[in-house]
Structure 1
Amino acid sequence: MSGFALHTLFDLLAWGAAALAALWLTRVRKIAFPPVTTELAYVAALVLGAGTGAVLFGTLNMIVSGVPAVARSIEGGIAGAILGVELYKQATGVSLRTGARFALPLAVGVAVGRIGCHLAGLEDFTHGTPTALPWAHDFGDGVPRHPVQLYESAAMAAFALVYVIKVSNRDAAWIDRGFYLAVGFYGLQRFVWEFFKPYGTILGPFTVFHLLSAVLVAWAVAMLVTAQHAGDADDRAAAEI
């Protein structure tokens, strides 16, 4: 099977695994998440934002790296989806935080999808830089490289495990704010792995995805802080009643 076919297969598996994770949490574990709108415009904003972000940042990174080609990026898709939803909410006056139920699907989807990136080989351009470490992987050109896709897969799988334990124990903070934790953790680990990739830099030693990772972490921290303040205000109001 070609690298492209393998990548496509694992993209589909990632989407399927993410959907099953969401169903398992709500139908089997009976986790009660904050309400989310199911309006078609909301879904459209999410999908359009994800698709645009994936292609925009994936292609930009290729250009910066001296390989002019259209490409897709998981991280760009995450950022685009967040921006699309936030713009939709601003335009429609929606104040509810709608991301909670997407935390585990995000982590599981990335963990599965990155395996496909690894199996796709050099043509996928997500491989790591050369290394002499014993777990280095040779993609067929005789150069041992960091299996950086598997680093990311393992990191997000570990987050998914911790998340499942926390929400299974009915930890309210993880249930309500899990998506911000997932995005923040994703951005943090992705920032680290970028140092092991052959991408062109755009600001000092930093790549396009270093900068995007920093933005995602900053957004996640801001949302966690404001969520905490909102929770504290609710607690004070309840105490006064």
Structure 2
Amino acid sequence: MSGAFLHTVFDILAWLTAAAAVWWLSRQDLRFPAQSFVMPYVAALVFGAGLGAYLFGSSNLWLSGQSGIARSVEGALAGGIVAIELYKWSAGITVRTGARFALPLALGIALGRLGCYFAGLDDFTYGTPTTLPFGHDFGDGILRHPVQLYESAAMALFALLYVLAVVNRNAFVITNGFYLVLVYYGAQRFLWEFLKPYGTLIGPFTLFHLLSLSILLYAAIMLATGPKARPLHERAVA
């Protein structure tokens, strides 16, 4: 099987698993905000995510001295956040609407990164050369950090911890899950970027270093300014 075909297979699996996570959460008697399922909200999310994916993915490619068009999951995440915040501001929506997306996001990235791993060199998501015994040869005879697997494992761990929190009815984690997954994602992605052969933008930092910090900072501010989580039987999850 070709790398491109396997990448597509895992992309589909990522979307299906994310949808299954949304369904599973709906069976847990959690009252998430209805605003995150209305059509204008979904349209803004899809538009922003698509624009961000290609804008940041292609920009990173060019900064790394390569031509072409590329997509980025982190770019999609950033674009989606900006689009939703603008939509909520224009529509006068003040409730926090991201809580239901924490688990789907973590699982989607965990599976999607497996597709990036199997795509090999063409995907340009591989790591820098390494002498570690678990280095992987993507086809050019050089052992590299399989950073796709690092990120996949990290996000799978978050998903597991989040599921345990839901099962144990941890109100803080459920209410703030989206911002917690953003903090976690931004931090781990920032670390893995040091193991990628991308062109730098400021000092030793790549475009995705700066994007990771931006996502982490946004989530930290939202956590710091959010309402205190109360027991789930007292309020709807926001």
Local SS of the residue matching 1:202: strand
Shift of the alpha carbon at 1:230? 8.8
- 8 Å CA contact 2:36, 2:98 repeated in 1: no
Q: What residue identity is the alignment partner of 1:109?
A: G
Shift of the alpha carbon at 1:33? 2.8
Partner of 1:128: 127
- 8 Å CA contact 1:33, 1:175 repeated in 2: no
Shift of the alpha carbon at 1:8? 1.6
- 8 Å CA contact 1:7, 1:116 repeated in 2: yes
Deviations 1:6-65 (A, max 9, x none): 2122111111111101111212x3333344343211110000000000000000000000
Q: What residue identity is the alignment partner of 1:51?
A: G
What does residue range 26-175 of structure 1 map to in structure 2 within 5 Å? 26-27=26-27, 29-175=28-174
Alpha-carbon distance between aligned partners in 2 of 1:22 and 1:202, rounded to the nearest angstrom: 37
Alpha-carbon distance between aligned partners in 2 of 1:150 and 1:186, rounded to the nearest angstrom: 14
Structure 2's unaligned 5+ residue stretches are: 231-238
- 8 Å CA contact 2:172, 2:229 repeated in 1: no
Alpha-carbon distance between aligned partners in 1 of 2:86 and 2:5, rounded to the nearest angstrom: 34
Alpha-carbon distance between aligned partners in 2 of 1:107 and 1:37, rounded to the nearest angstrom: 18
More helix, by proportion? 1
Shift of the alpha carbon at 1:176? 0.6
- 8 Å CA contact 2:45, 2:81 repeated in 1: yes
Count of residue correspondences = 231
Counting aligned pairs with the same residue, the percent is 60
Local SS of the residue matching 1:127: coil
- Please identify, of 30-39 and 74-83, the stretch whose mean Cα deviation from structure 2 is larger: 30-39
Deviations 1:74-99 (A, max 9, x none): 00001111111000001110111100
Alpha-carbon distance between aligned partners in 1 of 2:44 and 2:108, rounded to the nearest angstrom: 20
Alpha-carbon distance between aligned partners in 2 of 1:221 and 1:197, rounded to the nearest angstrom: 25
Alpha-carbon distance between aligned partners in 2 of 1:211 and 1:158, rounded to the nearest angstrom: 24
Pairwise CA RMSD: 1.5
Local SS of the residue matching 2:113: helix
Partner of 1:21: 21
Alpha-carbon distance between aligned partners in 2 of 1:121 and 1:6, rounded to the nearest angstrom: 10
Alpha-carbon distance between aligned partners in 2 of 1:230 and 1:168, rounded to the nearest angstrom: 17
Deviations 1:153-188 (A, max 9, x none): 000000011111111111111111000000110010
- 8 Å CA contact 1:14, 1:110 repeated in 2: yes
Q: What residue identity is the alignment partner of 1:23?
A: W
Q: What residue identity is the alignment partner of 1:3?
A: G
Structure 1's unaligned 5+ residue stretches are: 232-241
- 8 Å CA contact 1:180, 1:221 repeated in 2: yes
Alpha-carbon distance between aligned partners in 1 of 2:181 and 2:115, rounded to the nearest angstrom: 21
Shift of the alpha carbon at 1:228? 4.1
Shift of the alpha carbon at 1:5? 1.9
- Please identify, of 33-42 and 65-74, the stretch whose mean Cα deviation from structure 2 is larger: 33-42
- 8 Å CA contact 2:175, 2:229 repeated in 1: no
